[in-house]
């Protein structure tokens, strides 16, 4: 079905059900309960899950298939974001042109950087991509201020021409990004008992794009092109000895990966029409590396899970403060309560990065194949035990 094998089609169907029902299963706790703050079913966070999932899927096409580790992929995320905002300012507030142009601009940008960087491999390739990303960040933050807005960022304004819309503003206000008149921020809520579920237009647009991106990734992984990329990762030198130059394949993978990053950048500004230079910083590139490794390098769904996990920690665990911790441990004697708060305090709030770091260490040490590798290994063990029992 859809040109996929049975297993791949079931995986695609599983991801489809996952993203379609996300507003419900990401809100497992009733509103008003003490655990409601662990709910993640609100639009802003769900959009980040999906958008960074697209970013990680694209990065995995390069890193997972070819083994080329890029530390500069945030440059394409930022380039796509800036291109998207300019489309919202110049052409129309409709998000379709912004998303399309963001992807194309990032593709051209990645072609230029990839053509130069892929002259080297290994750590030298990684350093080159990092250098290009940091140069892009510096240019966006200072030199190209008229185009990028500098440190304050680029955003839509009342006086923007928006020539395809025929009007610069709506009722004296800056118009919100929309899809043929349906605003991305529009949401509707459903109450079921004590549970509150929020369904958002912007999230489902992003989810639709994710499904297309995921389907394309499956086709790439299973195609002869994907097999050539795996051959590059397996033994680049041996492939060269056969008379086949690996560079066109790695460059194509680099460009495709960059276009995925640009697509994610375009979706970011479609949800929130603001682009800043910080999206090009090395920390943003490092984040997508962590997402891919945590989920499982070279797996299809792993990067999506890794992206969701990191964004969950960033947005949920960072909100936990001392007052909340005291509420949790209020049933304990005062001395023990203060002790527990003191122990947990460094791992939440502003220190949530410490929790992420420990989790990353545990995954690398005990689950070298990432979350998907660990789950696959557990499944195989259980299945073998059942087979032996029979």
Predicted local distance difference test score (pLDDT) of residue 362: 84
Q: Distance between CA atoms of 153 and 277, rounded to whole angstroms? A: 7
What integer is the mean pLDDT of 184-198? 86
DSSP collapsed to 3 states, 160-189: CCCCCCCCCCECCECCCCEECCEECCCEEE
pLDDT above 60 for 202 = yes
Long-range contacts from 351-358, C-beta under 8 angstroms, 24+ separation:
352/313, 352/314, 352/317, 352/318, 355/313, 355/317, 356/290, 356/310, 356/313, 356/314
Top pLDDT among 326 and 386 is at: 326
Output b/e per residue, 9-38; b: 16+ Cβ within 10 A.
eebbeebbeebeebbeebbeeeeeeeeeeb
pTM over 0.85: yes
Q: Output the average pLDDT for the chain.
A: 88
Residue 180 banded pLDDT, cuts 50, 70, 90:
confident
User: What digits encode the pLDDT tens for the residues 330-387?
Assistant: 888 878 888 888 888 888 887 888 888 888 888 888 888 888 888 888 777 776 666 5
User: What is the average per-residue pLDDT within 280-286?
Assistant: 88
Average pLDDT estimate for 24-45: 83
CA distances from 262 to 89, 127, 273 (A): 18, 21, 15
Distance CA 376, CA 361 (A): 20
Q: Kindly tell me if the per-residue pLDDT of 168 is higher than 80.
A: no
Give the residue with greater pLDDT, 38 vs 304.
304
Give the least confident one: 53-67, 71-85, 198-212, 272-286: 272-286
Residue 338 CB coordination number (10 Å) = 15
What is the mean predicted confidence (pLDDT) over 58-83?
Answer: 94
The topology under which CATH files domain 6-282 is ABC transporter involved in vitamin B12 uptake, BtuC (1.10.3470)
Give the model confidence (pLDDT) of 247-268 as tens digits: 899 999 999 999 999 999 999 9
Average pLDDT over residues 61-89: 94
Residue 172 has pLDDT above 80, yes or no: no
pLDDT level of residue 165 (50, 70, 90 thresholds):
confident
Residue 157 pLDDT level (bands cut at 50, 70, 90): confident
pLDDT band, residue 127 (cuts 50/70/90): very high
């Amino acid at each position: 079905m859809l040109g996929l094998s049975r297993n791949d089609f079931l995986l695609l169907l599983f991801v489809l059900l996952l993203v379609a029902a996300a507003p419900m299963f990401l809100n497992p706790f009733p509103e008003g309960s003490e655990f409601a703050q662990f709910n993640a079913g609100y639009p802003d966070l769900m959009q980040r899950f999906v958008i960074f999932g697209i970013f990680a899927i694209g990065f995995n096409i390069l890193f997972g298939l070819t083994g080329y580790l890029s530390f500069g992929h945030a440059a394409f995320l930022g380039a796509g974001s800036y291109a998207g905002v300019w489309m919202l300012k110049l052409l129309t507030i409709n998000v379709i042109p912004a998303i399309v142009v963001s992807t194309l601009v990032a593709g051209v940008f990645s072609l230029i950087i990839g053509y130069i960087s892929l002259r080297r491999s290994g750590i030298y390739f990684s350093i080159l991509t990092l250098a290009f990303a940091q140069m892009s960040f510096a240019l966006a933050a200072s030199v190209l201020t008229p185009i990028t807005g500098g440190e304050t960022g680029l955003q839509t304004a009342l006086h923007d021409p928006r020539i395809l819309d025929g009007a610069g503003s709506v009722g004296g206000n800056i118009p919100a990004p929309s899809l043929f008149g349906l605003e991305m921020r529009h949401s509707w809520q459903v109450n079921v008992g004590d549970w509150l579920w929020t369904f958002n237009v912007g999230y489902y647009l992003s989810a639709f794009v994710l499904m297309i991106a995921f389907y394309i990734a499956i086709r790439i992984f299973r195609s002869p092109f994907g097999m050539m990329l795996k051959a590059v990762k397996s033994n680049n030198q041996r492939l060269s000895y056969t008379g086949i130059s690996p560079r066109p394949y790695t460059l194509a993978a680099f460009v495709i990966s960059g276009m995925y990053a640009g697509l994610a950048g375009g979706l970011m500004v479609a949800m929130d029409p603001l682009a800043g230079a910080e999206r090009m910083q090395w920390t943003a590139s490092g984040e997508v590396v962590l997402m891919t490794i945590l989920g499982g390098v070279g797996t299809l769904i792993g990067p999506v899970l890794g992206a969701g996990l990191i964004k969950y920690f960033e947005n949920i665990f960072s909100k936990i403060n001392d007052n909340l911790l005291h509420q949790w441990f209020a049933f304990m004697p005062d001395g023990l309560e203060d002790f527990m708060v003191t122990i947990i305090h460094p791992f939440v709030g502003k220190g949530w990065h410490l929790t992420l770091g420990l989790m990353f260490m545990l995954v690398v040490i005990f689950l070298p194949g990432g979350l998907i590798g660990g789950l696959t290994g557990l499944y195989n063990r259980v299945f073998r035990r059942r087979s032996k029992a029979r």
